[in-house]
Structure 1
Amino acid sequence: MAGSFLSDDEASEAAEINVTPFIDVMLVLLIVFMVAAPLSVVDVPVNLPASSAAPPERPEDPIILTLTRDLDLSLNGAPLLGDALAQSLLQASDGKRDTPVLIRADRDIAYGEIMALLDRLRDAGFLKVALAGEEKAP
């Protein structure tokens, strides 16, 4: 070529794209999403009451039972219909009744409704029950 300043060998080297920075950015994004994904497991909106107690260690794989303001129940984010609580709990725990159950209940729910839920859990044989709350800022 008459007006070209680069030889054919130099032109072929200049046309290659360096993908190393792109791969680095993709790996960082992958790590960010891997860390953030477990934090967004529970997606049922509940207005939890605050607690000033020191938070205990969280059990390894608790069953999360959510009671919304409308008294709708959901088990690990999936809505429960009718009286399927006992069977759904057994299915979620693989038949192990000693699996911890973590109750997330809206702060505006009457105390009697939470007690009724605790009675249903006891009748189903699940006795390891904890109540979830938000931590108060010091």
Structure 2
Amino acid sequence: MSMSVPQGGGGSEPEPMMEMNMTPMIDVLLVLIILLIITIPKQNHSVNLNMPVGTPPPSTVEPVVVTIDVDFDGTISWDNQVIPNRQALEAKMAQVGAITEKDQPEVHVRPNKLVPYKVVAGVMASAQRLGVAKIGMIGNEQFQ
């Protein structure tokens, strides 16, 4: 075993260190990561729903169904009768919304595959705003 001894006199200055000390920087980054992990809020992947309890009694009366068709060019029909404008559609929806929720007819919206989304969204927004509680989309198999 040998030991290397630097050559030269003892009066020479040591050479400066050319490498950066990474240990303090790594320590600071680890502390920051731990703080970030601690402060992130817990993610909830659940939706709270009020589901009915038990089996409901069978309905004695068949529900009344209103079908709203939205054609590819934005034409809206109410039970196969063309609605001339948005005000007429909203008047019919207001009549449905005025009925108590228990006796309200079911409103089925059947959009065409080529209709712009904003037309269908407008129909559904009007229904929600005017108090239509029983609304659903039908004909979704055409989008698969």
TM-score range, shorter chain: 0.3 to 0.5
TM-score (structure 1 length as normaliser): 0.47
Q: Which has the larger radius of gyration?
A: 2
Q: TM-score, normalised by structure 2?
A: 0.46
